[in-house]
Amino acid sequence: MLKVGSVRDDGPDRRLFEVQDEGRPASEEKLLRIVLFATRLLADNGLPGAFRVAGEGLLCLDLSATDRSFFHDGILFAALDVYNDPVKNPTLTLSIDGR
């Protein structure tokens, strides 16, 4: 199960999320899947910004602090929920998988 270990700003235009998988940094493969879900959720909600993998166990939201809101953190947590329980979130899971 993936979990957020910490959230921190990395300068005025980046927010970093440490994502753990059973206490270890999440793999790039898993993080890329989270980025897909989060990107779709940003678009569906009309929110600016872009998520990307920023290193081992790290996801980055590229967006200035003045343009961010608590919704952006929520998007990442929602994307983790989709990853952790795709059956509970079939609409998003199936749309990303192209089924």
Over the stretch 20-57, which tens digit does the pLDDT of each residue have? 999 999 999 999 999 999 999 999 999 999 999 999 99
CATH fold of 2-97: Gyrase A; domain 2 (3.30.1360)
For residue 12, pLDDT over 80 is answered with yes
99 has pLDDT over 70:
no
* Closest by Cα among 70, 48, 50, 54 to 19: 54
Domain boundaries, the chain: 2-97
Strand stretches in the chain, DSSP E: 2-9, 14-21, 24-25, 50-55, 58-62
- Nearest in space to 53 (alpha carbons), one of 33, 81, 23: 33
CA distance 47 to 68: 9
Query: What is the tens place of the pLDDT at every residue in 56-82?
Result: 999 999 999 999 998 999 999 999 999
pTM attached to this predicted model: 0.88
pLDDT of residue 90: 65
Indicate the average pLDDT of the chain: 91
- Give the distance, in angstroms, between the CA of residue 93 and the centroid of all CA atoms in the same chain: 14
